[in-house]
Amino acid sequence: MEWLGLHFFTELPEHGHLLLNCSHNPFLVLLAYLVACAAGFGTLDMAERVGHVEDPTARRNWRWLGAGCLAGGIWSTHFISMLAFQAPVAIHYELIMTFASLLIALIASLFAMQTLSHANLRLHQYLLASVWMGIGIALMHYVGMSAMHSQAQVYFEPGLFMASVGIAIGSSLAALLLSSYLRTGTGVFHQLLKYAASLVLGAGILSMHFTGMAAMQMIVPTGADLSLPTGNNPIQLGLSVAVITLLVIGSSVSAALADKKLQHKERDLRRVNALLSELDQARASLQQVAHYDALTSLLNRRGFNQIFAEKLAEKTASHGMMAVIFLDIDHFKRINDSLGHDAGDQLLTVLAGHIKGSVRSHADVVARFGGDEFCILISIHHRDEARHLAQRIMQQMKEPIELAGRRMVMTTSIGISLFPDDGLTCEELLKTADLALYQSKDMGRNSLNFFSSNLKTRASLELQLEEELRGALRARNQLVLFYQPIFDMKQGKVTRLEALVRWQHPQHGLLGPDRFIGIAESNGLIAELDHWVLRQACHDLSLLSDRGYTELTMSVNCSALNLARDELADEIEDALRLSGIAATRLELEVTENALMGNISSTLALLRQIRALGVSLAIDDFGTGYSSLAYLKRLPLNTLKIDRSFIQDIPKSIADIEIVQAIIGMAHTLHLQVVTEGVETQAQFELLLKHGCDFVQGYLLSPAVAANDIIGVIQGINLRDPHGGAAAKDGSSAKESSPSRDSPTSIARPIR
C-alpha cells in the first residue's frame, strides 16, 4: 500500500540497495528530547489552567494556547529528530507537507485540550480520546515523513509501524491521565510530580518518533550516488527550531504562571470581599443586637440614648419642645411568677405592639429599657400633647388580652418630663421622668404624672436620708427602741411589749418608721436594721427581767424581705443566747402579705423559727389576702387584728360582726387574738365582751422610750380597765392622733 510516496505493508523490491549505514546526530536527539519534555510540561500547565479558570472565554483561550504548545512541541520534536537523521543520500523537505504535518499536530492537540476541559471523564472516554489523539500524532509523523524527499524509496516494516502507532496512543493516554490528575494540587511535591511527568511524556513522544524511524527502510536504485551530502547544516536549523519552540512554550508557561498568580490574587480578593461582606453583615447584626431589643424589636436603652442625644441637639438648636414618657407595667411580676416567663415575654410583645400603635408617627421613638419598662420620646408644642398620648396608651393597655388560656387586663403607671422645662440633658430628663413615674406608683398605680420640682426635692431628701441611715446603722447611737404595752384581758395586766424603732435624727428630730423603713427596704438596709432591733429588744427585755419583770413577752416585727433570708433563724438564736432570754418570751410578728408572698419557702423558715421555741404572730390581719387553708398550715400562735376594723365600732354593726367573726375563727384555730389601735373605753368593753385576748393602743399608752416603760406598765396595772380611770386616760389618748405615733411595724411596707 502506497500513501503520499510512502509504502506501508508492501514487500521490498527485488532491485535496488537497502541503506544500512544511517545514523542520528546525538546532539539533535537530545535537543529533540528536551523540546518534547518542555512540550509535556507546557501541556500539563495549560491543562491545569483550563481546569481552574472559571470564565468560559478565558478557558477557550487557554485551550488554544495549550493546543499550540503541545502541537508545537510534538512537531518540533519530530522535525528536529528528522534533522538528526543522517543517510548517505541527499535529502530535502517539502514545505507544504511539513506545514501540513504541523496542522495535523495542532488538530490533535486541540482535541486533547478539549478532552481535558471536562472535569470528570470515565476511563473508556479517556481511552477513546487517546486513540484519536494517537492516530492524529501518528498521522502527523508519517505526513512529516512524506515531506522528506530523496532518490530513495521509503518502505515501513509493518510490526514496528503498528508499534509506533501503539506508542502514540499510549503516550496520549498517559498525557491525558497525568494532566487530569495533576491539574489539581499545590506545593513542592506537586511541582516535582509535574517535572517527572514531563520527562515521561517527552520520552513517550520521542519513542513514538524513533520507533517509526526504526520501521523505515530506504531503498535506492542500483547505481545511485551514495556519497554523504554536504553543504547543509542540520544542527543550526534544529537549534533554531528548538529555540523558537522553547521560547513559545516558555512564554506560554510564564503566562500561565502569571495568570495563576493573578487568579490567586483575584480569589484572595474575592475572599477578602466576601469577608468584608460578612463583616458588614456581622456589624449590622451587632448593630441590631446592640441597639434593638431582641424580644419586642423596639430600641433598647443604648439605641434610645443615641437617638435621644441627636434629637436633643436638634431641639436645642431650634428651641423646640420634647417630652420623655416613662412607662412601667403594673404588677407585671405576678405574671412571671404565676404563668411563667414565656407567658411574660408573650405579654410584653403584645403590650409593646399596643404602645407602638398608640404613638402618632414614625418620628416618635419607642424603646424598651428592660423588664417591663418602656420609654417614648415625642416632639410636642404643648404639654397637653404628651398627656393625650399617655392617656391613649393607658386606654389601649386596658384592652383584654388572651394569655395562657386566661383573659386579663393590664394597667400602666406613667411619668412624663418635658424639655427644656425639666432638664437640658438626656440624663436629667430620664431622671425626672423616672421620678414622675414613681410618683404615679405611690399614688396607687394606673395613673400618670408630670415631673414637678417638689419630686426632685423629695428624691434628694430620700437620698440624703439613705446616706444618713447607713451612718446611723454604723454608729448605732441615733436609733432607739420605743415600747408599746399589750394588755392581757384575762389577767388584767400588761404581759407583753411591742418593740417599735425610732430614729433620733440630728436635724429632723425623732422620726417614725414611716419615714425611713421604706428607704431601708429599697436600699438593702432592712436586714441590718431588723437585726439591730432584735438584739436591742432582747437586751432591753433582759434588763426588765433584772428589774423583776420576768413574765413579760417581747414582740418584734420582721420585714417581709427578711423572710427570704435563711440566716434569720440563726440571728434569732444568737440574739436569745447573748441576752439570756428564754425563746418562749420572744414573739416574731410578720405581716399577712409577707406570709402569703412565697408560702412554700416562708413555711419552712417559720417552722424552723418555731422549733426554737419562739412564738409567731400574723400582724395586720384582714388587710391582705390570706385564707383559712393557709392559716391552718402556718405554725402561728397569735393573730393581730388591724386597727382599721375597730375604728368605727361600736357605731358600725358590720365592723362589730367582722371583729367577732375574726375572734371566733382565731380561737377555732387555737390562736390568741391581739387587737391593735384601741382608743376608747367602748372599743375596750366590746372586745372584752367578744373574748379578745389582748389589746394595745392609745387607750392604754402610746409607745414610750425604754426608760419610761416601767412607769407606764405600773400605771396601767394599777388602773381598773373597766373603771373611770381608764376612761379618763382613754379620753386623753384621743387627743393624740394615731397617725402621728401609730405602732407601725418596722417591717411593714409603707402603703
Contact (Cβ atoms closer than 8 angstroms) between residue 571 and residue 601: no
The architecture in CATH of the region 301-451 reads 2-Layer Sandwich (3.30)
Single-letter residue type at 728: K
The average pLDDT across 608-630 equals 77
pLDDT at position 722 over 60? no
User: 446: which 3 cell numbers?
Assistant: 394606673
Please give the share of the chain, as a percent, with pLDDT higher than 90: 18
Asked if the domains at 301-451 and 485-500+526-741 fall in one CATH topology, the answer is: no
Q: Which pLDDT tens digit goes with each residue over 29-55?
A: 788 778 777 776 767 666 666 666 666
The phi, psi pair for 329, rounded to 5°, reads -75, 125
Measure the CA–CA gap between 370 and 712, rounded to whole angstroms.
54
Axis-axis angle for helices 158-182, 188-215 (nearest 10) = 170
CA distances from 6 to 2, 151, 152, 154, 215 (A): 5, 13, 11, 6, 12
Single-letter residue type at 631: L
Mean pLDDT for the chain overall: 79
Q: What does the chain come to in residues?
A: 751
| Helix (H/G/I), strand (E/B), else coil: 108 | helix
Measure the CA–CA gap between 513 and 500, rounded to whole angstroms.
8
pTM: 0.50
Query: How many C-beta atoms lie closer than 10 Å to residue 471's C-beta?
Result: 9
Measure the CA–CA gap between 672 and 681, rounded to whole angstroms.
21
Which residues have CB under 8 Å from 732's CB, separation 6+? Answer: none
The average pLDDT across 387-411 equals 83
Identify the CA nearest to 420 among candidates 333, 487, 320, 345.
320
Single-letter residue type at 742: S
Q: Where are the domains of the chain?
A: 2-224+232-251, 301-451, 485-500+526-741
Q: Are strands 553-558 and 493-505 parallel, antiparallel or unpaired?
A: parallel
DSSP string, 295-322: TT-SB-HHHHHHHHHHHHHHHHHHT-EE
User: 516: which 3 cell numbers?
Assistant: 425611713
The average pLDDT across 545-555 equals 92
Q: Which pLDDT tens digit goes with each residue over 202-228?
A: 677 777 777 777 777 777 776 656 665
Kindly state which CATH superfamily the domain 485-500+526-741 is placed in: EAL domain (3.20.20.450)
Identify the CA nearest to 49 among candidates 252, 247, 244.
252
Measure the CA–CA gap between 614 and 355, rounded to whole angstroms.
51
Q: Which pLDDT tens digit goes with each residue over 155-173?
A: 777 778 788 778 877 777 7
User: 336: which 3 cell numbers?
Assistant: 412571671
Residue 121 confidence (pLDDT): 64
Identify the CA nearest to 301 among candidates 428, 436, 426.
426
Best-predicted range by mean pLDDT among 90-99, 452-461, 491-500? Answer: 491-500
Contact (Cβ atoms closer than 8 angstroms) between residue 639 and residue 621: yes
CA distances from 498 to 489, 512, 623, 729 (A): 16, 15, 20, 20
Query: How many C-beta atoms lie closer than 10 Å to residue 657's C-beta?
Result: 11
